[in-house]
Amino acid sequence: MGDGGAGGAPHLVFPHGSRAPTADDTVVAVGFAVEPPEDDDTYAAAEGLLSEEERARARRFRFDVDRRRFTVARGLVRRMLSRQVDVAPADWRIEADAQGRPFVAAPADGGNLRFSASHTEGLVLCAVAVGRAIGADVERVRERAPLEVAGRFFAPSEVAALDAFPPGEQGDAFFRFWTLKESYAKARGLGLSLPLRQLAFDLDGGPRAAFDPALGDDPAAWRFFSLRPTPRHRAAICAGRHDGADVALVTSWDGLAPHGGGASDQR
């Protein structure tokens, strides 16, 4: 696992000009960027990387905040992809499947790269993997846990575990569960149509998942990470390990990590 990469230059997993990654590589590259960016130039740089189609989509957002988050996230996605393979960030063609999940459509030699992006108040996240399913989610932690949501989407064991936390810690615990569940839903590409109550996480000693047989999947085929990129955010990564390979994360920050950020702990 990476050291969190708080501040300074990002860790380059496969520097430009080196060999293209292969399906045997087990590293997942995880990048965070502060949102809104620190200055207009940073924002303009992200905007400059977007395709015509992405710019048109950005223009269609009703609220500035959504336009900005989409733009910063797509800029991060493009730069993260270009850290893996020597393709210029503006040259990736990104399309969406029928479920709305974006994927790398071209260039063909980057076709084995998979990514997952997420945005929330204050932060955007992108995880990139080679030849394996990947899901990422980041959420701003709210102090009060939306317990009615837990009742609908959490497994009974998760609701019980949440209840056992002191009230002041329930908000944080809620978002640890929530991001883990969403990371899996996004790795499967199904979004929230997935019955999230059918997966139950145990947060003790690192996140471990149990799947209801009705889900028709095996938790051993996935590796989960729970991250705390800043004191106010929780994030999770779900990476496929159907090949049995172990998975390691290398995290980086675009620009400086906010004060106190950077730890990719599992607590």
Using the minimum distance from each CB to ligand COA, give the nearer residue, 24 or 148: 148
- What string marks each residue from 144 to 183 as x (binds ligand COA by CB under 6 A) or -? --------------------------------------x-
| By CB under 6 A, residue 192 contacts ligand COA | yes
Task: In angstroms, give the least distance from the CB of 205 to ligand COA.
Answer: 26
Cα 6 from chain centre: 17
Overall residue count recorded for the chain in this entry = 267
Report the amino acid identity of residue 155. Answer: A
| By CB under 6 A, residue 99 contacts ligand COA | yes
- What string marks each residue from 102 to 131 as x (binds ligand COA by CB under 6 A) or -? x-------------xxxx------------
Chosen residue from 73, 128, 209, 237 binding ligand COA by CB under 6 A: 73
C-alpha span between 119 and 224 (Å, rounded): 19
CB half-sphere exposure, 43, CA atoms < 13 A: 13
Give the dihedral sign, CA 151/157/158/163.
Answer: positive
C-alpha span between 123 and 37 (Å, rounded): 9
Contact 135, 221 (CB under 8 A): no
Using the minimum distance from each CB to ligand COA, give the nearer residue, 25 or 139: 139
Using the minimum distance from each CB to ligand COA, give the nearer residue, 101 or 241: 101
- Output the residue with the shortest Cβ distance to ligand COA: 191
Among 175, 229, 232, CA closest to 207: 175
| By CB under 6 A, residue 81 contacts ligand COA | no
Alpha-carbon dihedral 260, 262, 265, 267, rounded to 10 degrees: 40
Contact 112, 19 (CB under 8 A): no
How many residues touch ligand COA under the rule CB under 6 A: the total is 18
Stretch that binds ligand COA, among 28-36, 39-47, 185-193, 247-255 (CB under 6 A): 185-193
What are the tokens at 69? Answer: 């988050």
Using the minimum distance from each CB to ligand COA, give the nearer residue, 20 or 45: 45
| By CB under 6 A, residue 241 contacts ligand COA | no
Using the minimum distance from each CB to ligand COA, give the nearer residue, 117 or 162: 117
| By CB under 6 A, residue 185 contacts ligand COA | yes
Chosen residue from 137, 158, 172, 254 binding ligand COA by CB under 6 A: 137
215-234 burial string, b = 16+ CB within 10 Å, else e? bebebeebbbbbbbbbebbb
CA 93 vs CA 65, 104, 136, 221: distances in Å = 24, 6, 20, 29
What are the tokens at 160? Answer: 């019980």
Task: In angstroms, give the least distance from the CB of 224 to ligand COA.
Answer: 16
Residues lying near ligand COA in the complex (CB under 6 A) are found at: 70, 73, 99-102, 116-119, 137, 182, 185-186, 189, 191-193
